[in-house]
């Protein structure tokens, strides 16, 4: 009877999702973590769950907490469709018997659930799965880490956390930071430096540029934030993770918690509580939709306004969506606003607008501060072009100004015979400068530097130059006549 009930639960669970994950025996042990997890396609699915395609695979990451040392390490187990796909056997992690191991799973688009049932693993309720998120043994990990008072790096004030209203979208606290190596023969290996050195032609697949990856690899990088990272259990390198971001957000007490309108929950209170347990959030914290949406709008627009100059010129996670990070985040905000039905709940319109080019790519962002009292508009291509021209002209004119002033000083020292010679020398020197300047500046236009204003009258200088040349030619003729007269006098 018990076997029949368990089998029925398994069939109902798998029918809800497109993919199933089979965990090895003792999967939280050293050997278990190093044994590849198996990803299978459900019979009801029309799409193959392939590990080699980032859109159809599942990603997993583990955190290992050593109770004695209070240190956390990160380890990324391997997921394959079949054992024959393993190119290089996974490294076996090292940790003491008193360590606590936890797992987090996420996917890019295909839904998944666990095939085998373990008491510490959660993928939703029996009849309603998260579909794109799951975890194992996380409650024990978080509670122990906080009791031990592990060293959590505190975020800078201007940096958002994974629970900041200025960052979240409708899929809060979602997606791992794990990745895999795929060979040209479609075999799989852990993404370790030693494996990258061994394998020649490889492709790195990972969760898309959203959630934790967007936060760590783009927003924190742009703002020079101090992301919480720990050592990889195999390599001597620091790595971030989903759970570490949650601990950092917990430390700062950010309250943009997972809510009922999250598409993975949809007003199921039991699922909401289970999801929050997996990311260390208070299970009974109430969400008032109107307040939530107002906080989302206010904090997002202030964050974008205060960091406008940095985010608007930082690289976009996806050039086919937006041309810069600010506009990418603005598009993400707008999508979340409509997905959460915030116009209805808050009785307000979104304070951010996007400008798109002819290809449908977001190129600029308009932030409406306090009912149009302050607006900022970026037109990237034109702005960059104008900045390049301005900088180039400034450099050229600065060099010309310095050269001119130096020339005058040199001429005053060298040509101190009489005012006539000095005037000729200055006109001759400056007329050369004017010829070069004429190529970049309209006639009779003012050229300004930091503290020098020069009014150039080209007609005057060019006429003076012509007159000077005639005077020089006349002096040569007069000198020839004088020499001729002397020679003639000597002969007599």
Positive/negative CA dihedral, 289, 293, 298, 304: positive
Residue 429 confidence (pLDDT): 55
> What sign for the dihedral angle of Cα 316, 320, 323, 327?
negative
| Confidence at residue 411, expressed as pLDDT on a 0 to 100 scale | 64
Report the chain's terminal Cα–Cα distance, integer Å: 146
- 64: in domain: yes
The answer as to whether 299 is a domain residue is: no
- Predicted pLDDT at 406: 72
Would you say residue 369 lies in a domain? no
203 CB neighbour count, 10 Å cutoff: 12
In-domain check, residue 63: yes
Give the C-alpha distances (Å, rounded to integers) separating 300 from 322, 337, 351.
18, 11, 9
Return d(Cα 258, Cα 166) in angstroms, integer. Answer: 14
Whether residue 118 is contained in a domain is answered as yes
User: Of 278, 60, 87, 274, nearest to 179 (Cα)?
Assistant: 60
The whole domain housing 54 covers 2-158+173-258+275-281
Structure tokens belonging to residue 4: 């029949």
Q: Which segments in the chain show pLDDT lower than 50?
A: 1-14, 371-382, 385, 433-459, 461-462
Q: What is the model's pLDDT at position 484?
A: 67
Residues 254 and 397 in one domain: no
How high is the pLDDT of residue 251? 96
Residue 464's pLDDT is what? 54
Domain boundary among 247, 281, 315: 281
How much is the pTM? Answer: 0.74
Choose the final residue of a domain: 281, 314, 335: 281
Residue 179 in domain: yes
Q: Please name every residue paired with 290 in a beta bridge, in sequence order, or none if there are none.
A: none
Domain tally for the chain? 2
| Cross-strand partners of 376 | 367
Same domain, 59 and 203: yes
Q: What is the pLDDT of residue 268?
A: 79
Give the per-residue pLDDT at 390: 75
Buried/exposed code over 391-422 (b: 16+ C-beta within 10 A; e: otherwise) = eeeeebbeebbeebeebeeebeeebeeeeeeb
In a domain, 121, yes or no: yes
The answer to whether position 177 is within a domain reads yes
**C-beta separation of 190 from 180 below 8 A:** yes
Which of the listed residues 220, 250, 281 is the one where a domain comes to its end? Answer: 281
For residue 207, the tally of other CB atoms under 10 A from its CB is 24
Q: What is the pLDDT of residue 392?
A: 75
The encoded tokens of residue 480 equal 């020839």
Residue 331 DSSP code: H
């Amino acid at each position: 009877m018990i076997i029949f009930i368990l089998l029925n639960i398994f069939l109902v669970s798998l029918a809800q999702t497109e993919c199933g994950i089979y965990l090895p025996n003792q999967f939280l042990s050293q050997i278990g973590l190093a044994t590849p997890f198996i990803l299978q396609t459900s019979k009801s699915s029309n799409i193959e769950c392939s590990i080699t395609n980032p859109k159809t695979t599942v990603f997993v990451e583990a955190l290992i907490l050593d109770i004695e040392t209070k240190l956390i390490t990160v380890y990324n187990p391997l997921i394959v469709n079949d054992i024959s796909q393993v190119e290089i056997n996974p490294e076996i992690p090292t940790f003491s018997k008193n360590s606590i191991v936890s797992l987090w799973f996420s996917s890019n688009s295909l839904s998944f659930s666990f095939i085998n049932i373990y008491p510490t693993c959660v993928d939703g309720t029996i009849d309603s799965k998260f579909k794109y998120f799951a975890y194992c043994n996380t409650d024990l990990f978080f509670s122990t880490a906080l009791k031990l008072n592990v060293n959590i790096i505190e975020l800078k004030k201007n940096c958002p956390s994974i629970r900041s209203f200025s960052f979240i979208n409708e899929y809060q606290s979602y997606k791992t930071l794990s990745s895999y190596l795929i060979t040209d023969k479609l075999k799989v290996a852990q993404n370790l430096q030693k494996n990258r050195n061994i394998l020649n032609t490889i492709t790195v697949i990972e969760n898309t540029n959203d959630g934790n990856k967007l936060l760590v690899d783009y927003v924190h990088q742009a703002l020079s934030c101090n992301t919480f990272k720990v050592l990889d259990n195999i390599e001597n390198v620091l790595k971030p993770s989903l759970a570490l971001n949650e601990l950092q957000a917990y430390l700062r007490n950010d309250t943009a918690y997972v809510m009922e309108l999250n598409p993975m929950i949809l007003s199921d209170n039991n699922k909401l509580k289970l999801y929050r347990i997996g990311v260390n959030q208070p299970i009974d914290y109430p969400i008032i939709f109107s307040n939530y949406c107002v906080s989302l709008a206010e904090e997002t627009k202030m964050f974008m306004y205060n960091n406008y100059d940095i985010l608007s010129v930082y690289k976009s996670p996806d050039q086919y969506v937006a041309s810069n990070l600010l506009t990418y985040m603005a598009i993400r905000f707008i999508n979340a606003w409509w997905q959460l039905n915030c116009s209805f709940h808050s009785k307000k319109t979104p304070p951010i607008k996007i400008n798109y080019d002819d290809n449908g790519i977001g190129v600029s962002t308009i932030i409406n501060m306090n009912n149009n009292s302050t607006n900022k508009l970026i037109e990237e291509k034109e702005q960059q072009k104008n900045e390049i021209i301005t900088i180039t002209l400034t450099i050229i004119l600065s060099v010309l100004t310095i050269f001119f002033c130096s020339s005058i000083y040199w001429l005053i020292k060298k040509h101190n015979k009489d005012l006539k010679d000095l005037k000729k020398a200055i006109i001759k020197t400056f007329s050369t400068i004017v010829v070069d300047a004429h190529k970049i500046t309209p006639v009779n236009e003012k050229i300004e530097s930091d503290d020098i204003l020069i009014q150039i009258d080209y007609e005057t200088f060019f006429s003076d130059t012509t007159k000077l040349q005639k005077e020089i030619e006349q002096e040569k003729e007069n000198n020839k006549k004088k020499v001729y007269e002397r020679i003639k006098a000597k002969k007599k």
